Amino acid sequence: MKLLIDIADNKAESFMEMIKNHSYVKAKAVSAPDAELFAEIKEIKKAFKNVALIKAGKLKGRPAEDFLNEL
């Protein structure tokens, strides 16, 4: 299982030391650009789920023309 955990910068070092004490855990820091990429991918996945819900009739959508007119 893979987990992505957001830790405050001032606590990250002690947290990493704590989890590295377990032989079954492999941990490494993720760079800021990679963390931003993960966040963007999460938003894109959410958008695709919303599209699927709209197509299934479980979520109400709106025409793109209405959205563009608001801009």
16-52 pLDDT tens trace: 999 989 999 998 888 889 989 999 999 999 999 999 9
Spatial separation of the C-alpha atoms in residues 51 and 1, rounded to whole Å: 27
Output the pLDDT for position 43: 96
Output the pLDDT for position 48: 97
Segment 53-70 shows an average pLDDT of 91
| 59 has a pLDDT exceeding 90 | yes
Output the pLDDT for position 46: 97
The residue written with tokens 């990679």 in the block is: 34
Output the pLDDT for position 4: 82
